[in-house]
Structure 1
Amino acid sequence: MPQPIPNGMSTISPHLVCAGAADAIDFYKKAFGAQEMARLAGPDGRLMHGCIKIEGSTVMLVDEYKEWGMQSPLTLGGTPVTVHLYVPDVDAFVARAVEAGATVTMPIQDMFWGDRYGVMKDPFGHSWSAATHLRDVSPDEIREAMKKPMGDNCQTP
C-alpha cells in the first residue's frame, strides 16, 4: 500500500501558476538554487506539472490554463500570497535572486521578531520573503516591540 504522503514531499507545498512555467523553473534554479524534480508538458506544449525543491521544500508549478480558471499573478495584476523561505544566508540568497531578475519590495533588515528578513517579487509576479533566524525572542518581547512604529522595530547589525 502506498504512503499517503509520497517520499520527499511535504504536507504543504505551494503550487504556483505561472505565465511561462518552464521559464519559471529555469529562473528558480538560477535565482534560488532550486533543484528540478519534474517537468511534464501537455500536448499543446504548456507545462501541466513541474516540481522543484528550494532549500529542501517542494514547490509545484503549472502554466496558465485560463480555460480552467488557472491564472498567474501577471494576468490577475498581483497576488495576495507570499511564499516564505528560511535560508542560511538571506543577504546572499536575495542578492543571487536579484541578479537573476527578482525585484526587492522590502529591503532586508534585522527584525524585532529575531529574523533578518526581506521580500522580493519574481519576474512571474510571485512574492517571496526570505529570512535567516538570528536570535530567539520571547512572545512578550515581540508584543512589546509591536507597540512601536515599524521603523523603530527594525534593528541594524
Structure 2
Amino acid sequence: MSELTPYLCVPDSRAAIDWYREHLGAELTVPPIVMDDGRVGHCEVAREGARWMMSDPFDEVGVAPPDDRRGNPVTLHLTVDDVDVLCRRVEQGGARIDREPADTPPIGRLAVFHDPFGHRWFLNQPLPDPD
C-alpha cells in the first residue's frame, strides 16, 4: 500500500489548525506536539479522509512556509461535494480566490485559492456523468 501525505510548514500552526477547522471543515487528528521552545513540531488534520501534516517553521533544518515572492511549487488538490459553498467559506475566512468556481469538463467543477498561510489549493467537485 502507498500513501502520499503533504507535510505543510505554516507560520503559525495553532492559527492554521483553527482556520482549517473553521473554513475547510477539517478535524484535528493528531494534536500539536510542542517543542521545548514553544513551536509546534508536528500536528495532523483531516477532512473526510484527506489528511495533511503541519509544523511551524524550523529554519535551522530548512523547514519554511511559502514565500509570497515566489510561486508555489506545490498545489494541494481537495475533492469536495460542493466547490461553490466551500469556496465562499474560505474566501470569508481570508483566503485569496485565484480562480472562481467554474465547470471544467471532464475534470470537474474547479476553484483555486491561496489560504492565509500561503498554500495554494485546488477545490474539485466531480461533474455528473453526461449519460
Name the CA shift for 1:52/1:83 in 2 (closer, same or farther; >3 Å). Answer: same
Q: How many residues align?
A: 129
Name the CA shift for 1:61/1:76 in 2 (closer, same or farther; >3 Å). Answer: farther
Structure 2 match to 1:21: 13
Structure 1 match to 2:24: 32
| Root mean square deviation of aligned Cα | 1.8
Query: Could you say what secondary structure the match of 2:81 adopts?
Result: coil
Unmatched segments (≥5 aa) in structure 2? none
Structure 1 match to 2:49: 56
Rg larger in 1 or in 2? 1
Moved over 3 A (4+): 74-78
Distance in 2 (CA, whole Å) between partners of 1:25 and 1:44 is: 19
CA displacement at 1:34 relative to structure 2: 0.5
TM-score w.r.t. structure 2 length?
A: 0.90
Residue identity (%): 34
Matched AA of 1:13: T
CA displacement at 1:100 relative to structure 2: 1.2
Residue 119 of structure 2 is aligned to residue 126 of structure 1: yes
TM-score w.r.t. structure 1 length?
A: 0.76
Deviation string, structure 1 residues 37-77 (Cα, Å, up to 9, x no partner)? 12111111110001000222111001100010111103774
- In terms of fraction of residues, the more strand-rich structure is 2
